[in-house]
């Protein structure tokens, strides 16, 4: 058995640690978007494969027997490529995606949207000092807010100079409730924009918003591309892989 883990998430790093401990042969793959990524245990390759065809060829060349797509819930292109490449190369694909935040008690009060355009117009109805925490790649959707006081938090520096009234913070979490309360208060945030990323690293902002009565606009996850077996925890993923190894 040789596993290729498509990563870039805390879950992918936890999976790498678990596979390492279990003595499974594996390699992790990162997109290469972050200059100083948090590296998982074990072997790591960095950079795109060149689409689904490139990934299928990589799988064949490297004797990969199982593909685990542990990329971020919003990395839809990579997840689609994973299923297509698995199909082409004849290897099973496991999708490890952490549950979203919809079951949190405060989720009932959130404003759920399906597109970034809908997110922007919804947020405009709710407040005038937004906190945009949806990631660097989403920022062009908020270009029309150049004359507003906008708080932005991103992992990597921006390639372009932001509008003068924007405050751009570079940080990657995990975040604490106290820290998030302070951040929202200091910047007088009156609407929070987030993806339904799930997980614990970045969820403190949701509790802070609930505590301060700040409305939350949440971008729904892209629909799953059919063809992968889905698991929601690292343990379940390891269990499936070990069962597959035992059955070989």
Name the site residues for ligand NAP (rule: CB under 6 A).
6-9, 29-31, 33, 48-51, 54-55, 71-72, 74-78, 81, 135
Helices 204-212, 177-186: axis angle to 10 degrees equals 50
Nearest Cα to Cα of residue 224 among 80, 98, 90:
80
Specify whether the CB–CB gap between 171 and 136 falls below 8 A.
no
Cβ nearer to ligand NAP, comparing 28 with 65: 28
Q: How far is the CB of 209 from ligand NAP (least distance, A)?
A: 19
Q: How far is the CB of 126 from ligand NAP (least distance, A)?
A: 22
User: Measured from the CB of residue 193, what is the shortest distance to ligand NAP in angstroms?
Assistant: 13
Q: Which is nearer to ligand NAP, 100 or 190 (CB)?
A: 100
Please, which residues have CB within 8 angstroms of residue 54's CB and are 6 or more apart in sequence? Answer: 48
Closest distance of CB 119 from ligand NAP, Å: 14
Cis before 239? omega within 30: no
For residues 89 and 151, what is the distance between their CA atoms, to the nearest angstrom?
44
For ligand NAP, the closer CB: 58 or 166: 58
**No. of helices (H) and no. of strands (E), the chain:** 7, 12
Rounded Cα distance between 147 and 112, Å, is: 25
Choose between 74 and 145: whose C-beta lies nearer to ligand NAP. 74
Nearer to ligand NAP, 78 or 83 (CB): 78
Residue nearest to ligand NAP (CB): 48
Residue pair 230/100 in contact by the 8 Å Cβ criterion: no
Shortest Cβ 34–ligand NAP spacing (Å): 7
- 125 vs 174, which CB is nearer to ligand NAP? 174
CB of 31 to ligand NAP, least distance (A): 4
- Find all residues with CB under 8 Å of 46, minimum gap 6, and list them: 29, 30, 31, 32, 37
């Amino acid at each position: 058995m040789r596993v290729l883990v498509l990563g870039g998430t805390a879950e992918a790093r936890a999976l790498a640690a678990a596979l390492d401990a279990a003595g499974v042969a594996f390699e992790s793959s990162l997109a290469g978007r972050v200059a100083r990524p948090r590296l998982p245990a074990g072997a790591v390759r960095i950079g795109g494969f060149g689409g689904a065809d490139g990934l299928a060829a990589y799988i064949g060349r490297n004797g990969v027997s199982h593909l685990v797509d542990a990329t971020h819930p919003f990395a839809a292109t990579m997840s689609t490529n994973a299923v297509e490449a698995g199909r082409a190369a004849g290897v099973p694909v496991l999708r490890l995606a952490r549950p979203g935040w919809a079951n949190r008690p405060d989720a009932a009060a959130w404003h759920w949207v399906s597109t970034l355009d809908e997110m922007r117009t919804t947020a405009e109805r709710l407040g005038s000092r937004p906190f945009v925490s949806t990631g660097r790649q989403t920022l062009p959707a908020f270009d029309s807010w150049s004359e507003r006081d906008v708080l932005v938090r991103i992992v990597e520096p921006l390639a372009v100079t932001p509008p003068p009234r924007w405050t751009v913070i570079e940080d990657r979490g995990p975040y604490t409730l106290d820290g998030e309360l302070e951040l929202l208060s200091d910047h007088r945030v009156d609407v929070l924009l987030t993806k339904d990323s799930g997980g614990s690293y970045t969820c403190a902002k949701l509790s802070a918003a609930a505590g301060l009565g700040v409305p939350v606009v949440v971008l729904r996850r892209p629909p799953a591309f059919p063809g992968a077996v889905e698991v929601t925890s690292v343990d379940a993923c390891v269990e499936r892989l070990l069962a597959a190894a035992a059955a070989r």
